[in-house]
Amino acid sequence: MDLPANDGSKPLPDAGRPLRVWDLPTRLFHWALVTLVIVSFVSGKVGGTWMRYHMWSGDTILALLVFRLAWGFVGGRYVRFSDFMRGPGAVLRYARTLMHRDAPKHLGHNPLGGWSVLAMLASLLVQASTGLFANDDIITEGPLYPWVSKATSDWLTHIHRLNQQILIVLISLHVAAILFYLMVKHENLIRPMFTGRKYWLGLGQPTADHPWRAVLIAGLSALGVYLLVR
């Protein structure tokens, strides 16, 4: 949705009305994922007895990802994949206007941001999934390690370690983009992820939280992962 707007982060004179964009389940998912990715990275680097926390964190991340994939179809308006996934042409057109002062603003994810979200979800899904089968040749084995041969586990462990580097690059680009929008385009993307609201001029429909739908999907996601790894 391309509509005129202010920086989308805080009220200014004639800045428009506060509009709920990010529903509560999406915000809880986002910050839980940020926390668990940090826990996974630190515990994986420390190793030893910390690997139990690494595996618990990975299992929880997998449940969160299952939730987010489902939420991308039935969640709030601006978190649905249909709202922000655009073709290559739209992405290129947006990229060409990125440094322009009159570049179009978006209530939800812009075309570049949409693909960034998809890439990060895909990389996280690869990381959590391969971790289920991985081993460290010492004492730690993923919960699904017995399902595959040692050679297959070693290959998936290699993918797990390689994808970690890809994930670090994607996260770094994500943080860099947030800083770019904050310092260059004067658009605060962090605050709305806490409050759920952007200040918007023009037309726009607020999103809904759908709390019971979110609870049901989150419960089913957690149950499915628990039954898989127990």
Cβ within 8 Å of residue 155, ≥6 positions away: none
DSSP states along 198-216: EEE-S--------HHHHHH
3-state class (DSSP) for residue 105: strand
Mean pLDDT, residues 175-183 taken together: 93
pTM of the model: 0.89
Write the Ramachandran bin of 3: left for phi over 0, alpha for psi from -120 to 50, otherwise beta.
beta
Answer for the pair 46, 230: CB distance below 8 angstroms, yes or no.
Answer: no
- Is residue 153 in some structural domain? yes
Domain-embedded: residue 118? yes
Could you give the CA distance from residue 79 to residue 144 in angstroms, rounded to a whole number?
A: 32
Please give the Cα distance from 172 to 178 (Å, whole number).
10
Tell whether 184 is covered by a domain: yes
Name the residue range of residue 67's domain: 23-229
Q: What is the biggest distance separating any 2 CA atoms in the chain, rounded to whole angstroms?
A: 64
pLDDT for the residue 13 = 41
Local confidence band at 16 (pLDDT 50, 70, 90 cut-offs): low
E strand or H helix at 221, and its extent? helix 211-229
Overall number of domains in the chain: 1
Q: Report phi then psi at 19, rounded to 5.
A: -125, 125
Residue 32 lies in a domain: yes
With 90 as the cut, is the pLDDT of residue 128 above it? Answer: yes
Tens of pLDDT, residue by residue over 45-102, are 998 889 999 999 999 999 999 999 999 999 988 999 998 888 889 889 888 888 877 7
In a domain, 127, yes or no: yes
Please check whether residue 159 lies inside any domain of the structure: yes
Is residue 8 a part of any domain in this protein? no
Instruction: Indicate which CATH number applies to the domain containing 86.
Output: 1.20.950.20
